[in-house]
Amino acid sequence: MRKLWIIVVAVCLSLVTMGTAFASDVAEPVIAAESAIVVEASTGRVVYEKNADMQGSPASMTKMMTCLLALDELGRHQDVMISKNAAETEDVPLGLAAGDVFSADELLRGMMLASDNGAAVAIAEASAGSVGKFVAQMNDEAAKLDMKDTHFANPNGLTLPGHYSTARDMAKLARYAMTKKEFRDIVGIQQAPIRWSLPKNKVLMVENSNKLLGHYDGMTGIKTGWTMAAGGCLAASAKRNGLELIAVVMKAPDAHVRFDDARKLLDYGFSQTKLKRGIRRDHLKKSVWVRGGTQATVAVHPVEDVNYPVIGGEDPKRYTVTYDLPKVIDAPVKDGTVVGKLVLHYDGKPVGTVDLAAEKADKGFSVGSSLVSIFGWMLPRL
């Protein structure tokens, strides 16, 4: 009987081992694109990468940044007039003409779905007063997003010297942009009518250039790109059972292969990645000192629940967190302002981040905040 139990236990252990090996030994995808990455959206943890830091042209994936900035700058119903410069830009599938007028939201949908390059120029001019000023804002935002290997030279992605990025940086941009509801709503549209304000009653029905929308389970966005120099580019996101992945493909050999590559990346990511509950947003509060405010400290918390992406046979208990926060911030602070990051570590190695946002702190006077102004350098971290 004792021998029988030993055999039963051995068989069970071998089955468990086989199951674990199967989960972690799934073959990595064979990608035709020269550069690719797939990340878990809430933390940015990399599930798979191929030459992810290789610089190349991002083509019309550039428009993710243009849309992101314009949503902050332009009112949805603000009129945008198409300039001669915008109308004469290469590749305008909307058929833009100088003097045409759109509301900002109509033009943004046209830019992101039909990938109209002239629309990007018009949006840049309306947002910043000139394309040059807008491009400077694009590069400032890229720096804030830690896009270390990116430089923009235009708002649409047409090939220019000094216009480059990487799959890793495009994933950072896509990940941040998809936290914005207005952005997410636009890039998830499969088909939409684009309406002119002038000429009146002019309407054009456009299809999203992202052919995976409606044809891949859980697809939520995001943006295609194609030029002869860039090859096939695509930032694609999909969500299943609470898990959202973002895949980026750069320099695929043609415009069709980019979609096949993105499918393979997402299939692999979903087969390998599970989310395990980590820290609930309302269960974690840090604080920082406030200088020049009506209060001496302000609470800081994650922008969402912190879940742990578990890849293959990993153990979620091997996750730890640290906090990348300034000791002192200056008032005023709007509620929800991102002031730092929670850093996820697996086996001691940083693998992802979640933004930390401050609650509201008004500018003004308080004794405590005045003391922070004087003795801030001496204060301990909270």
Question: pTM here?
Answer: 0.90
**Pairing status of strand 243-252 against strand 328-330:** unpaired
Buried b (16+ CB within 10 A) or exposed e, 98-137: eebbbbbbbbbbbbbbbbbbbbbbbbbbbbbeebeebbeb
Q: How many residues does the chain have?
A: 382
Average pLDDT of each block of 10 consecutive residues along the chain (382 residues)? 40 36 68 98 98 98 98 93 97 97 97 98 98 98 97 98 98 97 98 97 97 97 97 98 97 96 98 94 91 96 95 94 96 95 97 96 94 90 91
| Per-residue pLDDT, 12 | 39
349 touches 289 (CB < 8 A): no
304 touches 42 (CB < 8 A): yes
| Per-residue pLDDT, 19 | 37
CA angle (232, 233, 235) in 5-degree steps: 150
Report the C-alpha gap between 185 and 109 in whole angstroms: 10
| Per-residue pLDDT, 23 | 46
| Per-residue pLDDT, 285 | 81
Give all strands (DSSP E) within 67-188, no chain letters. 79-81, 101-103
**N-terminal to C-terminal alpha carbon distance within the chain:** 61
Beta bridge partners of 109: none
Residue with the two structure tokens 């930390």? 356
Residue with the two structure tokens 């052919």? 211
**Pairing status of strand 101-103 against strand 35-40:** unpaired
What are the structural domains of the chain?
48-219 (3.40.710.10), 280-378 (2.60.410.10)
